Amino acid sequence: MTTRNELTTAAAARLAGIGYIAIVVLAMGANFLVRNQLVIPDDPAATMSNIAENATTFRLGIAGFALIAMLDIGIAWALHVLLRHTGERRSLLAAWLRLAYTIAFIPAIAFMYLALQLAVGGDVVAGLGEAEREAWTGLAMEAFDITWLLSLVAFGLHLIALGRILVASRIGPRALGYGLRIAGGTYVADTFAHLLMANYADFSGAFLAVVATASIVTEVWFTVWLLVRAPRTVATLPGKEPELVAV
């Protein structure tokens, strides 16, 4: 006799919700308490000095981002388990877009590690002078920023796909579905504005406010829904193999 241990949709909802909370905690540490505190825009010398003097803290930031990437893989899987009964193809599309975001984000973490190696010195950068190391440290963190920014296109499309699922299936509040689609659109719009507008810096504050407001409101709401409402909602879904439906 064999026993099948499968993740239930209710458990998948809770797992995804807990994953979201863990990502928020890790992001606050890795991004706001480490990267934003140590990296000084347009001042590579100060950036290199800060990283070198706080190497352990910077390593913790790198580890935090790496954990976030791994959690995103788990969330993509959990959301697929939760949503696949609403349409296999749409659910897979949302999962693949989140995985694409994660795969695109991982090189950014490597650029952050490169900045650490340049800052602390040693045999690996022995052929570089201090001025060169400063310039390359700043460039490595610029590469981190642009790689992360580009990866957010896939994340934005993931949110749009999630919103489409919620609106079409009515498994969750329609307003939440539309909110996720708007939040996803702001990520995509901000990335392309950054790439295409030579004077983006003049409008960066406005773009940040729009993206932050849309993403915080809808993703917090989505997390609460995953933990509170989704387990009860999915319990009413037919317990059958999902049918393939058109996107």
Can you tell me the mean pLDDT for 167-195?
94
Spell out the residues 6+ positions from residue 54 whose beta carbon is closer than 8 angstroms to its own. 38
Q: ∠ CA 55-36-64 to the nearest 5 degrees?
A: 60
What is the model's pTM? 0.89
With beta carbons less than 8 A apart as the criterion, state whether 90 and 246 touch.
Answer: no
Over 60: is that where the pLDDT of 33 sits? Answer: yes
Position 58 confidence tier, pLDDT thresholds 50, 70, 90: very high
Q: Is the dihedral of CA 223, 228, 231, 236 positive or negative?
A: negative
What is the per-residue pLDDT across 64-121, written as a single tens digit (0 to 9) for each? 999 999 999 999 999 999 998 888 899 999 999 999 999 999 999 999 999 999 998 8
For residue 123, what is the DSSP state? G
pLDDT in tens, 122-135: 777 777 888 999 99
Q: For the chain, give every domain's residue range.
A: 9-233
